[in-house]
Amino acid sequence: MVLAALAVLALPGGSAIARQARPAPVIEATAPRAHGDPIMAIVSIKTQKVTFYDSEGWIWRAPVSTGVSGRETPAGVFAIIEKDKDHHSTLYDDAWMPNMQRITWNGVALHGGPLPGYAASHGCVRMPYGFAEKLFERTWIGMRVIIAPGDAAPVEFSHPALFNPSAEALAAAPSRAATLGREAEDAAKTADEAKAAAVAAERDAKSLKAALRKLEQAKVRADAELKFADRKLAAAKTDQAKAQAEDAKQKAAAKAADAAAQLDAARSDTSARLTAATTTKEAAKAAAARKTDASKAATEAKLAVEPVSVYISRSTQMLYVRRNTHKPARDGGGEEFDTSIESPVTIRDPDRPLGTHVFTAVAQNGAGLRWTAVTIDDGDDAKDALDRITIPKDVLARIAPTAVARSSIIVSDEPLSSETNYRTEFVAVLSNQPQGGFITRRPTTNVDVASGDGYDDGFGNFFQRSWDGQPVAPPRRRGPPPTYYRPVQPNWW
């Protein structure tokens, strides 16, 4: 038996086979305290562990298996964008990926899987099967997922730039949203009624114009008949002919007079009714505008009670805002995020790195919000990074007064990945870290609607359209760029 074992180890790749045959023991941990729902998850590629945090600290820990060399799990900032309890990959031989929680649309996710004790996936984050099942019902769409190259953990943090809404504003936000919602419903009903009235008035106006044209044509014919009768009377030679012509002229004159009277009356009536139709049409336009304004105000008020996520990029000198609308995506899985706010920002010393920092409002307290900070990429420290950024006041006025717990601000040197779209919160990948498991996946295709005949990303047979990517990442700040390849590793995921 010993010789057989030595023979196995002597074979090419035998050590890898032996290593795979002895999975590392799965050691999970739960914080010895009562805890709430998770606010964020932090995956450490270095230690191959994931830790979930609530507002008071860590609550669950477990080993993971991230991507192999050439298929590395991308380090960066993500959020859960789709969940599937019983997912099977259509890219990797129908591999079972239970309790799948997607973080990018090109196929990176957290899910249950085998843990050999080292990085072994194609870019996903495998978790213990039981652990993945336990937390599946506790996580939520939009929950922050941070994948760090090394060890990272949230620390208590405060800074004047972090949102600090008043208790009064937070308390008033739900009732304001309800009031504006009712006003939007009333405005929509009024606009629909005004539109129906305008359509009816337009239809009536067309009928009136058609009737008026007929009367005008009748008057033209009557006038022509009167002129003909005049000529015939003038040409009459005998008394009998003259009498007949005179009688015809009188009848033609009466007919012409009647046509003129009908036309004058119709013109007067039509003018008044066309004026009323125009007024109705303008009223419908005004009602539609009020409906649009009321809907916008109601939407913003409704979004104001949702956690707000802000991404500030040194690369693009832009600020991006996301809020989950909780509406099912119109062309595929996941939910739609509001993307209506984007704005330039001023960053002092824009050529100097900021680093990548994630600030999270973990809870509300008497003074406003309690914040933590997580740094996953060196540059400035978190405080100095915020000191260098100036956000326009009008943007702050739209998002800061009602920021609630679970809101976040991300500051990074990186641009948003092209995988960021209306079905994601943010996808930001560290350009100075290996990301083979991200860039070797086929990008989300820029198409308009879901399709069953396009490339399958391993999580379903659809792809999206018309999603414009952000600019490419800046050059690596240190070290040589990694070389990526597509190794043939069947049945790995």
Instruction: List, for residues 434-455, the tens digit of each pLDDT value.
Output: 777 676 666 665 433 333 333 3
Which among 477, 480, 479 has a CA at the least distance from the CA of 351?
Answer: 477
Which among 285, 268, 280 has a CA at the least distance from the CA of 201?
Answer: 280
Distance from the Cα of residue 366 to its chain's centroid: 32
pLDDT tier, 88 (very low <50, low <70, confident <90, very high otherwise): low
- Report pLDDT digits (tens) over 141-170: 999 999 999 999 999 999 999 999 988 888
pLDDT of 6 above 90: no
pLDDT at 242: 80
pLDDT at 484: 33
CA gap 106, 103 in Å, rounded: 9
pLDDT tier, 3 (very low <50, low <70, confident <90, very high otherwise): very low
Beta bridge partners of 63: 49
Q: Give me the mean pLDDT over the 112-132 stretch.
A: 93
Q: Give me the mean pLDDT over the 179-202 stretch.
A: 93
CB 202 within 8 A of CB 283: no
Q: Which residue has the higher pLDDT, 62 or 450?
A: 62
pLDDT of 456 above 80: no
Q: What per-residue string of b and e applies to 405-428 under the rule 16 or more CB within 10 Å gives b? A: bbbbbbbbbbbbbbbbbbbbbbbb
pLDDT at 355: 96
Residue 219: its H or E element = helix 167-235
- Report pLDDT digits (tens) over 247-294: 888 888 888 888 888 877 777 777 777 888 888 889 999 999 999 999
pLDDT of 184 above 90: yes
CB-CB neighbours of 102 under 10 Å: 29
Find where tokens 């500051």 sit: 411
pLDDT at 171: 84
Please tell me the pTM assigned to this model: 0.71
CA gap 167, 482 in Å, rounded: 49
- Can you give the residue ranges of every domain in the chain? 180-304
Q: Which of 87-101, 125-139, 239-253 has the highest mean pLDDT?
A: 125-139
